[in-house]
A and B are shown apart, each in its own frame.
Chain A
Amino acid sequence: MTQTAWGWLVIIYLFLGGLGAGALLTAALLEVSGWRYKRDYCPTALTGAVISGPIVGLGSLLLILDLGAGKTEPWRIVYLFTNFGSVMTWGIWILTLFIPVALFYGLLELIEVEPFIKGIVWARFPRLLRNVPLYRRRTAIASGILAVGVAVYTGVLISAVGPAVPLWSQPVLPFLPIPMMPLLFLISAISTGMALTFDLVATIAIPEIQQQMRIMDLAHIVLIGVENVLIGLLLLSALNAGGAAAESARMIMYGPLSILFWVGVVLVGLIYPFVVHAYAIGAGRHSLWSGIGSGAGILIAGLFLRYLIVFAGIPAQL
């Protein structure tokens, strides 16, 4: 018996939410460190800032489409903001605050590169142009903090159901009462965000990047390594817990979902990118296509990982 209440719309939202948050975090880190001003990092910072708001916005739209009566009587959506004991209410608040700030961050990046936009801003809000770098830096920090919230709260949301779905409430380590899902979702969000903004966009924009950016390779290896360990810990912990958790883990590792897991998540999203980036550190460079390939692989794996977690969320045995 698999989990049947939540389907593809929720899964895609979880993916887009994490992706958008991670993309913005990548850009914000580059902004705060000043590395954004280096030519090779410009496209990454620009992409992360600009694309994040729309991606998370699109994901949120999918969430609304997944509602029942909230779709046909949309004014009910206001009620979603009221129960602070519910992680879903936290999420609504975080998203509502994040999306406008992220869009504003994107605007502050676009001002620098798009004269058309700069022109509009100059006509309507000339004060904004006085110190764009300062405003952008502050907006990056604010949206960065909110982005952590966006990336993490979905993990908290599914782990909050506790005994109802044992797979989702597994701890990070047996003796540590910290749930695994928030941490896994955060790492995955940053990983997919970097894959999009750097591996895909920046590489296509500046192909020579792949010849130089060793620190990005290092960051990828660390993230992939940590994510690998976390997924392994999750499955081991679930197997050990017995009952529905073990059933979930078996379903993922050697049941009907196993091909999706071993090929779609492990091979394409963990092993292949890891090899690409490790080789790059050793050899000093890697090809354009392997960079793009690893980026695409990480994104695909991010989506499938969330699919597996949601669908294999088997309810507790009674």
Chain B
Amino acid sequence: MHKQFSRREFLRAALGSGTAAVLGSVGLSAGRFALAAPDRTESASSPYALIIDTTKCVGCGACRTACNLRNELPEDTSYIHILSYGEGTDRSFLPVQCQHCAKPPCASVCPTRATYRREDGVVMINEKLCVGCKYCEVACPYQARTFDEDRGVADKCWLCLDWVQDGRDPACVAACVLGARLFGRQDDPTSEVAQLIASGRAKPLHPEFGTHPSVLHYIL
């Protein structure tokens, strides 16, 4: 049998364990950074660049339609969502899709490592590992992740990698009739995309999110 505490000792014990619990919670929050998986990819950038010129975009949605058709997505889902700002003659449009970040929060929060970043900067999903917890959908600051209800897995723009590796443009770029979308290799200094990025005209979107988009750039 152990001795019983007096009221004062009980309060002291409660306060002590309470403080320990609070400190523990702080430690757990901070430990997240210590335990974060190291960035396995060597380069923070990507050989590919997809530039969206919002000064030319009229919000017609052709890119979205082409993407949906190519990926056989249902009508209420899309890898691309088109935001609009302003009114009347000041109206502007912002097509947003996966930015293929160099520090993708979707990959770091994914508990099964289904989402990962390739060496060429393209962020992909290994659907065989995905359990459908939707943490990635919540964690993407660009809200670029969707969920495939039928298969129960996360989904998003995959940069039409098969076409890109064949030297062709992704579907959304090919579909834009106004030339608001450009695709090319930023590792080729003579390419138009490389020059737009180097000149500073084409920039990452919301760099304050800290995710370092490596493929998508915007002319705002």
A residues neighboring B (CB under 8 Å)? 3, 5-6, 25, 29, 32-35, 37-38, 66-72, 76-77, 79-90, 92, 133, 137, 144-145, 148-149, 151-153, 155-157, 159-165, 178-179, 182-183, 186, 215, 219, 313, 315-316, 318
Decide if B138 touches A35 in the complex (CB within 8 Å): no
CA distance in complex: A182, B32 (Å): 12
B147 at the interface (CB under 8 A from A): yes
- Write out, one digit per residue, whether chain B residues 197-217 have a CB within 8 A of any chain A CB (1) or not (0): 000000001101110000000
Decide if B13 touches A85 in the complex (CB within 8 Å): no
Determine which of A82, A144, A161, A182 lies in contact with B105 in the assembled complex, contact meaning CB atoms within 8 Å.
Answer: A161
Determine which of A85, A178, A215 lies in contact with B108 in the assembled complex, contact meaning CB atoms within 8 Å.
Answer: A85
Decide if B29 touches A79 in the complex (CB within 8 Å): no
B35 at the interface (CB under 8 A from A): yes
Given contacts A133-B1, A163-B208, A186-B22, contact A82 B113 (CB under 8 A): yes
Given contacts A69-B151, A69-B152, A84-B37, contact A33 B13 (CB under 8 A): yes
Decide if A68 touches B138 in the complex (CB within 8 Å): no
Decide if A87 touches B206 in the complex (CB within 8 Å): no
List residues of B (156-181) whose CB comes within 8 Å of A's CBs: none
Q: Can you offer 28 A-B residue contacts whose CB atoms are under 8 A? A: A33-B13, A33-B14, A35-B10, A66-B133, A67-B131, A68-B152, A70-B131, A70-B132, A71-B152, A79-B131, A82-B111, A83-B111, A85-B36, A86-B109, A88-B109, A133-B2, A152-B24, A156-B25, A162-B105, A162-B139, A162-B141, A162-B210, A163-B209, A165-B138, A182-B28, A183-B26, A318-B96, A318-B206
Closest to B128 in A: A76
Determine which of A70, A83, A145 lies in contact with B37 in the assembled complex, contact meaning CB atoms within 8 Å.
Answer: A83
B67 at the interface (CB under 8 A from A): no
Decide if A29 touches B138 in the complex (CB within 8 Å): no
Secondary structure at chain A's binding surface: helix, strand, loop or mixed?
Answer: helix
Decide if B152 touches A70 in the complex (CB within 8 Å): yes
The interface residues of chain A lying within 8 Å CB-to-CB of B196 are none
Decide if B5 touches A33 in the complex (CB within 8 Å): yes
CA distance in complex: A80, B143 (Å): 23
B residues neighboring A (CB under 8 Å)? 1-5, 7, 9-11, 13-14, 17, 20-22, 24-26, 28-29, 32, 35-37, 83, 94, 96, 105, 108-114, 127-135, 137-143, 147-149, 151-153, 205-206, 208-210
Given contacts A37-B4, A72-B152, contact A3 B147 (CB under 8 A): no
CA distance in complex: A149, B208 (Å): 31
Best-buried of A5, A90, A156, A157 by chain B (most CB within 10 Å): A5
Decide if B28 touches A29 in the complex (CB within 8 Å): no
CA distance in complex: A183, B13 (Å): 19
The interface residues of chain B lying within 8 Å CB-to-CB of A89 are 111
The interface residues of chain A lying within 8 Å CB-to-CB of B209 are 162-164, 316
Closest to B21 in A: A148
Determine which of B29, B83, B111, B135 lies in contact with A182 in the assembled complex, contact meaning CB atoms within 8 Å.
Answer: B29
The interface residues of chain A lying within 8 Å CB-to-CB of B140 are 164
CA distance in complex: A248, B22 (Å): 26
Decide if B22 touches A183 in the complex (CB within 8 Å): yes
The interface residues of chain B lying within 8 Å CB-to-CB of A155 are 25, 29
Decide if A80 touches B7 in the complex (CB within 8 Å): no
Contacts A32-B17, A157-B135 known; 10 new A-B pairs at CB < 8 A: A29-B13, A34-B5, A68-B151, A71-B152, A83-B113, A86-B109, A89-B111, A153-B28, A179-B29, A315-B143
- Minimum distance in angstroms from A110 CB to a CB of chain B: 20
Given contacts A68-B151, A79-B111, contact A152 B28 (CB under 8 A): yes
Decide if A6 touches B13 in the complex (CB within 8 Å): no
Best-buried of A69, A179, A315 by chain B (most CB within 10 Å): A69
Closest to B138 in A: A5
Determine which of A85, A152, A215 lies in contact with B25 in the assembled complex, contact meaning CB atoms within 8 Å.
Answer: A152
The interface residues of chain B lying within 8 Å CB-to-CB of A34 are 2-5
Decide if A29 touches B24 in the complex (CB within 8 Å): no
Decide if B112 touches A83 in the complex (CB within 8 Å): yes
The interface residues of chain B lying within 8 Å CB-to-CB of A164 are 105, 138-141, 143, 209
CA distance in complex: A34, B128 (Å): 51
Closest to A92 in B: B111
- Minimum distance in angstroms from A82 CB to a CB of chain B: 6
Decide if A318 touches B83 in the complex (CB within 8 Å): yes
Decide if B29 touches A156 in the complex (CB within 8 Å): yes
CA distance in complex: A151, B11 (Å): 21
The interface residues of chain B lying within 8 Å CB-to-CB of A178 are 26, 29
The interface residues of chain B lying within 8 Å CB-to-CB of A133 are 1-2
CA distance in complex: A160, B108 (Å): 10
